[in-house]
Structure 1
Amino acid sequence: MCQPLRLNAGNEALAGTSVSLRLLTPLACIAARSMASAAPRGGPAAFWDSTYGSGPEMVYGQAPNRWLAASSGVRDLVPEGARIVELASGEGRNAVWLAEQGFRTVGVDISAAGVAKSRAFAKAKGMSEDVLRFETGDATTFGDDDSFDAVVGIFAHVPPPMKQAFIANMVRIVKPGGRVIGQWYTPTHVDRKNDPAIAWGKGGPPDAAACFSAKELRSSPLGTEGAFEVLEEVDADVTEGTLHAGKANVLNVIWTKATLLEGKPDRGEA
């Protein structure tokens, strides 16, 4: 799920579906999944191909992200049958869950290995391509303007130079009145993880600058083009497969894009 700064985000031009994709550069790859080693020759795609491998094990598990599954922003605030794009779908666990909820979903990732495993997982779940599709693609360029009812990003971390472009793309591709729903590790999480005096979990970028804070999002396009329904930094147990395990500090976000009638909020409004 890594790739050069490209905005996509959207996950494949799949009108009418929900997508999940991951967009990062070599540095992003390292930052995003908390891999401390350098990307192998071949670039970010090779890095993630190596991480996911070709075996049956899903390194982040088969269950959806716990917060996403419990989030009213998905099941209650997004209408059934809506088109959702999940950025950085990895091995497909969250995109499959979204499709099971009745959303037309598309998962997009830079890793061909991740996409192959996603498709196999979806097939095992009995999902048809009418409701769920996975594509290999660039995270920073995907998507038409105002084309999705919701954009989902779960631990879709990118290197600092790419963060504003990533955020701007989420804002661009979601429809007016649509939602951005995401969970990210925070700078506080990295500080605690690196403090030997604190018992903390593993997972997340090694670089705090690759994480997101509430303050940062308030001053981003999210703060000027819509309104936050949820914007909170909280401690949580994040146990997902073998690479995310234990106590974490995360940023939970549910945001609604302003409609033409509503206009734009003042900068920093949450």
Structure 2
Amino acid sequence: MSKDKWDSRFSEEGYVYGTTENEFIREMSEQIPPRSNVGCFAEGEGRNAVYLASLGHHVTMYDQSTAGIEKAKKLAEQHHVSIQAAAMDLTKEKVEPSQYDAAIMVFGHVPKPDQQFLIENIIQSVKTGGQIMFEVYSENQINYKSGGPPTVEHLYNPSDILNWIKPYKCIHFYYGEATRNEGSRHTGLGHVIQVVIRK
């Protein structure tokens, strides 16, 4: 979706995807060394960024929606943590390379021609030896009707992702069902792709 559409969605009352961190990120977060510099990409209203900051990490979040970023800052204040934020179109603008100890992305869905750029943008932001972890909906999600984009064009193919992460050490790869209840937009059983790699 465009920046205007995301700004409109994130201007709705309440938090569209809830205020609780993604389950996959919670499960994998123990792999991130203490007090790491972490980049959170396509982070929306900030729920995962705030969670990681609450663990003691130094967190910078990226999203194209300024409305989402404002809500993320409010959420951080409510949890008495500090996060940095940058408004960027991650499918066109490159983040400074080799600056983070780890990076995450949760349900950052973009058109297929932009997907490789986004994933590589996340990976290149991390220092050698750092970890990248993300969860997205697979193309099979179109059959579940429990959230995510309404067209296959914005969903991910596992073969594409395996090709993009091939140069790196794969620690975790999962392609299958998972239940996600996150706000009003992710409700119930879905079909996801999960990745943890070491650069």
- Per the shorter chain, which TM-score range? over 0.9
**What are the within-5 Å matches in structure 2 for residues 1-270 of structure 1?**
29=1, 44-53=2-11, 55=13, 57-71=14-28, 74-75=29-30, 77-128=31-82, 132-140=83-91, 141-190=93-142, 192-193=143-144, 201-220=145-164, 222-224=165-167, 226-257=168-199
Conserved 8 A contact 1:45-1:110: yes
- Greater share of residues in strand: 2
Taking structure 1 as the reference length, the TM-score comes to 0.70
Q: How high is the sequence identity, in percent, across the aligned residues? A: 28
Which has the larger helix fraction? 2
Q: TM-score, normalised by structure 2?
A: 0.93
The structural deviation recorded for 1:216 is 1.4
In 2: Cα distance, 1:209 partner to 1:117 partner: 28
Unpaired segments ≥5 residues, structure 1: 1-28, 30-43, 194-200, 258-270
Contact 1:54 1:117 in 2 (8 A): no
The structure number with the bigger radius of gyration is: 1
Show structure 1 runs of 4+ deviating over 4 A: none
Residue 113 of structure 2: SS of its match in structure 1?
Answer: helix
8 Å contact kept, 1:213–1:233? no
CA apart distance, 1:49: 1.4
Gaps of 5+ in 2: none
Root-mean-square deviation (CA, aligned residues, Å) is: 1.4
CA contact (8 A) 2:169 2:198 kept: yes
